[in-house]
Amino acid sequence: MGPLAGVVVLDLATLFAGPLAATVLGDYGAEVIKVEHPVRGDPARTHGPAKDGHGLWWKMLGRNKKTITCDLGVPEGAELLLGLAARADVLIENFRPGTLERWGLGPDDLHAVNPRLVIARVTGFGQFGPYARRPGFGTLAEAMSGFAAVTGEPGGPPTLPPFGLADGVAALTCVGAVLMALRHAERTGDGQVVDLAIIEPLVTLLGPQPQAYDQLGTVPERTGNRSVNNAPRNVYRTRDGRWLAVSTSAQAVAERVLRLVGHPEVIGEEWFATGSGRARHADLLDGYVSAWIAERDAAAVVRAFEEAQAAVAPVYDVRDVFDDPQYRALDTVTEVDDPDLGPLRMQNVLFRMSETPGEIRSTGAARGAHNAEVYGRLGLPPGDLDRLHEKGVI
């Protein structure tokens, strides 16, 4: 059943942070009702690769969700949504600020029918401020947060990730916020509004950058795969053409690496005793590590690092993730049965719980597949559902 069994979530959001937050909640037992426009649906259905007309991204993003259709912008649709909200615990939306209010579905309207409701509003820039009404996407957050400015090679352009990093971080942040708000509602009986701007969570992940700028006036530059906090830290090419990542965040690991590659003499240098000191000598240390690795095949390097208890990992693509024995042991990519595509492998639930584990109960369903089931809870007879469908309300 999962730890969130009995929690009802209305997922009104699209592309991608809000829906992914709802997916995670559904993975751990919440009943997630995905509300889509009768015609347009969630654009995630047609984003990315497809097979036989079925969006593969949607199969994962829409998993464990009951799909219904509703035009929230018409009075009958808004009335249906209020009926569902009265029976829900959480509502997740990502419309531009003011949109739900214009439809009579703002927080005041929703809390009038359900004071305990947790309303998570996930937008690019938040609910107020000079940018609040701008269109907002994860790409803009990756640019504005400071992430892209420090990503890429020195002297090269800022680099954006080739996947929804900011959306993913915002989604997991939203999950935490929703659980906190649910805990508050459990204690007090009061719901609340969560205002989550996608531009903000990545700023938290920048570590000490804001403090360093505030106190020291420093602005970090792009360093490629190096780190300003420690060295050696980079990717190195092996004799057989593989790339390996090495990290020496811990002092003891840095010492093991340099002993392994045949240069224990640098360990006694005063500058070697701190990560920042080693980072200032990255050219020297990278040269030592790079030369040693270049003379060996990847398997031999990994074996030697493991024996030395030093940190190394191959640079994987998705094929390697599928084949790796550790990922297989964890069942990180698991096989599920999809009614359209048959056996389908996708990312498993995020973490394992000993007593109340999450699970994938279903893959992303067709638009409106659960209209009769969900709207039936409102006491609507089949004839009324047919009428609303003919009018384009559902």
If phi > 0 it is left, if psi is from -120 to 50 it is alpha, else beta; for residue 306 that is alpha
Using DSSP's 3-state secondary structure scheme, residue 305 falls into helix
Q: CB of 17 within 8 A of CB of 138?
A: yes
Helix axes 282-294, 251-260, angle to 10 degrees: 50
Tokens at residue 370, please? 């659960």
Q: Active-site residue 297, yes or no?
A: no
Q: Which of 231, 291, 296, 222 is nearest to 266 (CA)?
A: 231
Measured distance CA(327)–CA(148) in Å, rounded: 29
Half-sphere exposure of 208 (CA within 13 A, CB side): 7
Tokens at residue 184, please? 């508050």
Half-sphere exposure of 51 (CA within 13 A, CB side): 9
Tokens at residue 31, please? 């009943």
32 C-beta neighbours (distance < 10 Å), count: 27
Task: Give me the DSSP letters along 63-92.
Answer: TTEEEEE--TTSHHHHHHHHHHHTT-SEEE
372 C-beta neighbours (distance < 10 Å), count: 12
Pick the catalytic residue from 11, 42, 167, 286: 167
- How far from 90 is each of 32, 52, 194, 302, CA to CA, in Å? 9, 34, 10, 47
Measured distance CA(347)–CA(332) in Å, rounded: 6
Strand 118-123 to 192-197 pairing: parallel
Our CA dihedral for 33, 38, 42, 43, rounded to 10 degrees, sits at 170
Strand 311-314 to 243-247 pairing: antiparallel
Q: Please give the angle made by the CA atoms of 232, 236 and 239, to the nearest 5 degrees.
A: 140
Catalytic residues: 167
